[in-house]
Each structure stands twice: as structure tokens, then as C-alpha cells.
Structure 1
Amino acid sequence: MVQRIDRDTVRDLLETRDAQLVEVLPGEEYGWAHLPGARNLPLKELGARTAAELDRSRPVVVYCHDWICDMSPRAAPRLERLGFGEVYDYTAGKMDWLSADLPYEGEAILVAGVMRRDPVIAFPDDRVAELEPRIFADPAGAAVVVLREGKIVQGVVGPRELKGAAPDATAEEIMSFGVTTVRPSEELTGLLERMDRAKTHTMVVTRTDGTLAGLLATDVVRAPETGPDL
């Protein structure tokens, strides 16, 4: 019987069971981005001939675009009918993987490939007197990302928030809360265009669980010509 699994289970199967990854989306979508090492067996072409590329002695993990996409739930029982004994459906799909800032292959130019992974951070009780040197010593001159336990993003403190703030005020008292964030899976070109229209120079990048992945600063980032080197 097909088992539906999450991202952590996928990673465990890859590491401990040498599982095979199969993307069942059309070739164009596979070429855009896919999980490392995944094969492309489009659902429309899935049959005994194409499935012969797989090793029946190893677990098979199928996936498609996201949890709304129904291609992997349809492909998994098809593989079972073709004689594969251990088939798993990664129901959240590759957008879940990409949003978690995990490695990928393909032509996509995503935020994950260019964001700063070492942004300046602070905690809610840090004082303004401590924050100012961190911001102005930062080459990007961008902002301090305020985090709580577990690296959960709470807000940002930049030059605007610091203006007029008392030296003993805390980051929590002056930060901009509820700031707009993007995922590492966001396509870079479109995001840079939107940021330009909004006259926004920095964007906090978070994973789907709210943890900090990085910071995109348009003053120091330019769209690369090729995807990230994995």
C-alpha cells in the first residue's frame, strides 16, 4: 500500500535506504527545478517501459509540484500495479522541498542561490546601543533581523527604526513587526522587479516554519546568469 510521507521522511529514505526519487511532472517543469538525483517519468508516459528504468529492489519516492497537484497520488499506485513493492508519495511536492532551502538541480534561478546566509541578527531584548554598530558595520547596510528561540523571525530593525530611538530601547520595542517575507523557492527575477516597484531594498527570507533562511539585499545582489552551483 502506498504511504504518504513528508519531507523529513524523504530525506531519511534517501540517506538510509538509498531510495529512488521520481518526478512525474512534464519534462519542462522537471528541467526548471527538481530534487537532486531525481528521475523524470512524466505521468502521461508512466508504464512498464519507462518504469523499467527503476530498480525494483529499492524504495521509490514519487512527487509532483505541491500538495494541490494530484499527479504523484495517481502515479504511486500505478507503480505498485507495475510490481514495485515499496512506493511512497511525497505529497507536499518539490515546492515544499525548495521552500525549506534544500538543494536542487535545474535551470531555476531562485532566491536560495543568491541570498545572504549570514545576515546580522539580534534578539528581542538587545538594546539600541548594541544594534547601531551591527547595522552600520554591515557591508550591505541593510537591517538587523530580530529572532526568537529557534531562529523564528520576529521583525527587523534598520536605520528607519533606529532614528530617534533611545539608546536603552530594546529591539522588540522599535522593530517593524510582521514584515513581508519570501521563501527561498521564490524566482529571483520576478522578485527583484516587484521589490524595485515597491522601492524596497531588502527582503527577509524565511522557510515555511518561520525560521530565518537569509536576507536578500538588492544593493549587493544581481541576478546570476545560471542557477546555483550545487
Structure 2
Amino acid sequence: MSPRAACRLEALGFQQVYDYTLGIADWKAAGLPVEGDHSPTQVVADATRSDAPVATPDEQLGVAWARAQRTGRDDMIVVDCDGVVVGRLRDPVWQQSHDLLVAVVMELGPTTVRPNALLVPLVERMQKRATDLVSVTTPQGVLLGVLLRADAEQLIAGDPPDQIWEDCDGCPGHWSTQ
């Protein structure tokens, strides 16, 4: 919010007011909660999962594969030490030597979307391209989770998502599976 809005809220008696200098568009794009019913449209954040397995570029492919298998997934998002999405692992990469580093075999620059993107048009694009998964990131590229097309289609059909937004004391909140 703007400095003027923060000052006005403090004058009205609100005690925990912060000046978010990047603005509301960045706030929404980061998937942070907003109040009100300005737009009833479903967005990517409504179906985003935070439980996707991740790998780092400096680990061995075999270690990443074992982690993927434990979660029942055959694809992984690769993040750097700051959580920024740098790649993706999926078939046929798993057929290569498991002694190779993830950095050598990962797909570079996977498609990412923001949590405030409209859900229906994204799912339509995913269907046309036969894509089952897309990374959901902040505007700075930090991984928030993944959108599975099947989950999104389920939500569009009216079924509740398998994850919830959890507020925590003193932080903006985070995604959690139910």
C-alpha cells in the first residue's frame, strides 16, 4: 500500500500497518492474501500446491530421482540456493546416469506463472500443449509451488482444492496441503 494509505490506517487505529512499496500488483503476483470480493474469478493460487519435490543444480540426479519417487512424482522443479526456479527434471532425463549433476541434465528456463493469473485461460493453454505441470513463482522467480492441470481442472469443475492458505503469526502466510 502507499505511504499515505499506511498513515491513514494508523490514524484510524490500526496497529500493524506496513508500507509495501512494491505495490498491490506485486503483492497479488506473489500470491499474498487480499481481502474483499472485487473479483470472483478463479486464479492460479486457488489450485497451487506447495508439496512438489524440488532439486538443486549441485546434487546428483540419483538423489533427486529418489526424492521424486518418494513423492510419487516423475518431474521436479530445480531451484537455486535462493529458491529461484532455474530448471526442470522430467522424462527422459531419469534414464541418464544417476551420477550426473542435475545442472548438467535439467531443462533450462521452464515456463512459470504468477499466482494471480487467471486459472481458466491457463488450463486451456495447458490442455492445448499437453502440459501437466507449471511452476508458480513470485515476480522475482522464487518458487511458490506448482499447478497440476488435473488439480486445476478439478477446481474449475467445482471441487475444493487439496491445499489451503495458512496464516502464521507475524508473516504473510503460506500454502499448505490439507
TM-score, normalised to structure 1, is: 0.57
Contact 2:2 2:23 in 1 (8 A): no
Shift of 1:203: 0.2
Please give the per-residue CA displacement for 1:82-113, whole angstroms capped at 9, x wherever unaligned.
Answer: xxxxxx9x786533221011012431311112
3-state secondary structure, aligned to 2:136: strand
Matched, 1:212 2:143: yes
Question: Greater RCO between the two (CA within 8 Å, min separation 6)?
Answer: 2
The code of the aligned residue for 2:24 comes to: K
Unaligned runs of 5+ in 2: 14-18, 166-178
The code of the aligned residue for 1:121 comes to: V
Q: Choose which of 82, 86, 99 in structure 2 pairs with 1:150.
A: 82
Contact 1:183 1:207 in 2 (8 A): yes
Larger radius of gyration: 1
Contact 2:62 2:99 in 1 (8 A): yes
Q: Choose which of 1, 5, 9 in structure 2 pairs with 1:19.
A: 9
Structure 1 equivalent of residue 91 of structure 2:
159
Q: Distance in 2 between matches of 1:219 and 1:162?
A: 23
The code of the aligned residue for 1:223 comes to: L
Q: Choose which of 12, 21, 25 in structure 2 pairs with 1:95.
A: 25
3-state secondary structure, aligned to 2:125: helix
Q: Distance in 2 between matches of 1:99 and 1:227?
A: 22
Contact 1:108 1:227 in 2 (8 A): no
Contact 1:127 1:171 in 2 (8 A): yes
Q: Distance in 2 between matches of 1:102 and 1:115?
A: 13
Q: Choose which of 140, 149, 155 in structure 2 pairs with 1:223.
A: 155
| Paired residues, number | 153
Shift of 1:4: 5.4
Please give the per-residue CA displacement for 1:36-78, whole angstroms capped at 9, x wherever unaligned.
Answer: xxxxxxxxxxxxxxxxxxxxx449xxxxxxxxxxxxxxxxxxx
Matched, 1:116 2:82: no
Q: Distance in 2 between matches of 1:136 and 1:176?
A: 19
Shift of 1:184: 0.6
3-state secondary structure, aligned to 2:28: helix
1:62-81 to 2 correspondences below 5 Å: none
Q: Choose which of 106, 111, 133 in structure 2 pairs with 1:175.
A: 106
Unaligned runs of 5+ in 1: 21-56, 60-87
Please give the per-residue CA displacement for 1:3-62, whole angstroms capped at 9, x wherever unaligned.
Answer: 955xxx98xx4xxx6828xxxxxxxxxxxxxxxxxxxxxxxxxxxxxxxxxxxx449xxx
Q: Distance in 1 between matches of 2:159 and 2:23?
A: 24
TM-score, normalised to structure 2, is: 0.72
Matched, 1:131 2:64: yes
Q: Distance in 2 between matches of 1:143 and 1:167?
A: 15
Q: Distance in 2 between matches of 1:108 and 1:94?
A: 17
Shift of 1:136: 2.6
